[in-house]
Amino acid sequence: MGNQTSSESNIRPLDTEQRVARNLDEAMGNDEIADRAGTEIVLSDGLSMENSPNSPQNLANNELSRYDGEVFVQINKTNTQIERSDGQINGHQFNALQLTRCQVSILDHCSSIMIEKCQDCDFVLSAVSETIFARECINCRFIMVCCQFKCRECSNCDFFLHNKRESVVELSRSIRFGCAEIAYKKLYSHMEQAKIPICNNRWTSVHDLTPGEGNYTLASGEHLVIPHFRVRNSMIPFIYQRNFNTIYFSLSVNQIHWKKLIEVSKNTKIVNLYQEEGYQDIQCHIEYDSTENLRSLFGRVPYQLIIQ
């Protein structure tokens, strides 16, 4: 089956997507998802979402004549290319449920994103000011820019992240975490709106709520290639997991030189790159052979070695 494209533009909802998401959550909780037309949801009161007073259609008729629920909710799609670009989500929520072999690109500022029961899909999600939550996903690949990532009951998935806070894993197996590589025109604007620092990435910090070990691995130094979203020159730093058997130099660089740090990260191993809120200096650990050669690495950009 050939790929289809699902993309709408210039949609400006108010807060109605929150109601749609609430209805979606109710439907998920009852696990009563109908197959008619591939999108109908049966709510707990027996009404379909289409006939419910809070349905996207009725909300559109009664409140927002230009509102289209499919901009924010995608359900029961197969072999479909789903794209959202600057201004379409506009700080609201996006939800995807029961997608199979789909290619999804959400390149806009979002409040949160929920991905549930998807299989054999590729996702590029940026930038999310709160949480991306993946549940019951199988054989999926993700590139994400977000505040925090959480997953539950996922298996055989790749999660490559640029995230501000520690990830949380529960009841998942055979999953990998790595450093995201991403580039598109509005990336920095969306990260600023979502309050995601360019030089803060905690992809190596994972809290597993499931007893035991071996549920996830860290794919340090690996590059995730998603065919529908190839990245030639990533616009964010590439960060490695720290190897405590290797010597690193700790240093700080003023935030005005953040682009230099992105450049340096492509030529040597940087770990623990972070900038504390309210401070102008960016701190990091760099694997290098000598302090003398560090000078050639940074050129004219000043930096300060931190003695530990």
Question: Helices 291-298 and 258-265: crossing angle, nearest 10°?
Answer: 110
| pLDDT tens track for 257-306 | 999 999 999 989 998 888 888 889 999 899 887 777 788 888 889 999 88
No. of helices (H) and no. of strands (E), the chain: 5, 17
Question: The pTM is what?
Answer: 0.78
Confidence tier at 47 by pLDDT (50, 70, 90):
very low
| pLDDT tens track for 212-263 | 877 999 999 999 999 999 999 999 999 999 887 888 889 999 999 999 999 9
Go through the domains of the chain in sequence order and give each one's CATH number: 4-218 (2.160.20.70), 248-305 (3.30.70.2580)
| pLDDT tens track for 252-268 | 999 999 999 999 999 89
**pLDDT in the model for residue 13:** 42
Give 268-284 as a DSSP string.
SEEEEEE--TT-SEEEE
| Token duo for residue 219 | 């794919």
CB proximity list for 112: less than 8 A, separation 6 or greater: 93, 94, 128, 129, 130, 131, 132, 133
